[in-house]
Amino acid sequence: MNVIVVENYDEMSLRAAEIVEQQVLKNAKSILGLATGSTPLGLYGKMVEGFKNRGVSYEQIKTVNLDEYQGLNRNHPNSYHSFMYENLFKHINIQMRNTYLPDGQARSVEEECERYEALIERIGPVHLQILGMGTNGHIGFNEPGTPEGSLTHCVELDESTRKNNARFFESPEAVPTHAITMGITSILKSDRILLLASGKKKAPAVKKLMEQQVSEDFPASFLWNHDDVTLIADRDAYQLVE
Ligand code: F6R
């Protein structure tokens, strides 16, 4: 794992945007794997700046997102469809038909998971996968206990995850209990992975990751089984690593 420690959130976002932009300049038809949450918001802001001010084009790329809440309509303000549209897609020249997220309202969740995994196989491999990490080490919505062999599947969200995400909803009870997520194997299929971590809240998780003990108890640790992972962490997130 290649580790880059930077001063703060803004610098983390800038370094991440440079890597994304290099990828897109190298291959205009890049497949990007995207995440939601607070962590990549700054990165998406910098990508929008790059599009507007430096002529970076996203016209031919395709994107696949890690996950989506189950039961939320795609137009619900807290769906990950809406998150991606509001924070990135509507600001750049991506073609919406080239953006993919799991359908949280699919009639058969099992079929939707199979369909999504087959889609990743068909259009992939993802050239560059962006990841954030939960305080419990989850990546995507792969909570502790998820096996390495997992493909896209339905998960019941951890109480801690629902609590952490409650800030986006009217009340903690409004946070969906289930989600569809790419599995660990789906994520590890990507050519290259960029893991971002910012803030002191993530410091215990970053410390645990850097202990290099690969275990289901801490899903992000499976990233040690991939040979091209870059972690960009800011000082606050990296402060507990000796
Ligand atoms: C989001 C996702 C999650 C988040 C993680 C961290 O698509 O897959 O794994 O990356 O929960 O969330 P933030 O960035 O809000 O701390």
Strands 62-65 and 99-100: parallel
Judge if ipTM > 0.95: yes
DSSP per-residue codes, 186-231: HHHTSSEEEEEE-SGGGHHHHHHHHTT--BTTBGGGGGGGSS-EEE
For ligand 1, say whether the CB of 81 is within 6 Å of any of its atoms.
no
Please indicate, yes or no, if residue 204 is contained in any of the structural domains. Answer: no
Confidence of residue 242 (pLDDT cuts 50, 70, 90): confident
State the burial class of residue 198 (Cβ atoms within 10 Å of its Cβ: 0-12, 13-18, 19+).
buried
DSSP per-residue codes, 104-126: TT-S-HHHHHHHHHHHHHHH---
Confidence of residue 115 (pLDDT cuts 50, 70, 90): very high
Average pLDDT over residues 42-70: 98
Q: Domain range holding 18? A: 2-197+223-238
Q: What is the pLDDT of residue 98?
A: 98
**In this prediction, what percent of the chain has a pLDDT beyond 70?**
100
In angstroms, rounded to a whole number, what is the distance separating the alpha carbons of residues 59 and 220?
Answer: 31
For the CA of 37, the closest atom of ligand 1 is 15
For the CA of 161, the closest atom of ligand 1 is 11
The predicted-structure confidence for 2-14, as pLDDT tens digits, reads as follows 999 999 999 999 9
Q: What is the pLDDT of residue 123?
A: 96
Into how many domains does the chain fold?
1
Please indicate, yes or no, if residue 207 is contained in any of the structural domains. Answer: no
For ligand 1, say whether the CB of 137 is within 6 Å of any of its atoms.
no
Residue whose C-alpha is closest to residue 29's, from 55, 7, 58, 70: 58
Q: What is the pLDDT of residue 168?
A: 87
CATH of the domain at 149: 3.40.50.1360
Strands 229-234 and 2-6: parallel
Please indicate, yes or no, if residue 55 is contained in any of the structural domains. Answer: yes
Please indicate, yes or no, if residue 26 is contained in any of the structural domains. Answer: yes
Please indicate, yes or no, if residue 193 is contained in any of the structural domains. Answer: yes
Please indicate, yes or no, if residue 54 is contained in any of the structural domains. Answer: yes
Average pLDDT over residues 104-130: 97
H-helix or E-strand spanning residue 18: helix 9-26
Distance 141 CA to ligand 1 centre (A): 8
Average pLDDT over residues 33-48: 98
Q: What is the pLDDT of residue 192?
A: 98
Distance 164 CA to ligand 1 centre (A): 9
Residue 67 designated active-site: yes
Please indicate, yes or no, if residue 41 is contained in any of the structural domains. Answer: yes
Confidence of residue 190 (pLDDT cuts 50, 70, 90): very high
The predicted-structure confidence for 140-185, as pLDDT tens digits, reads as follows 999 999 999 999 999 999 898 899 899 889 999 999 999 999 999 9
State the burial class of residue 100 (Cβ atoms within 10 Å of its Cβ: 0-12, 13-18, 19+).
middle
Please indicate, yes or no, if residue 103 is contained in any of the structural domains. Answer: yes
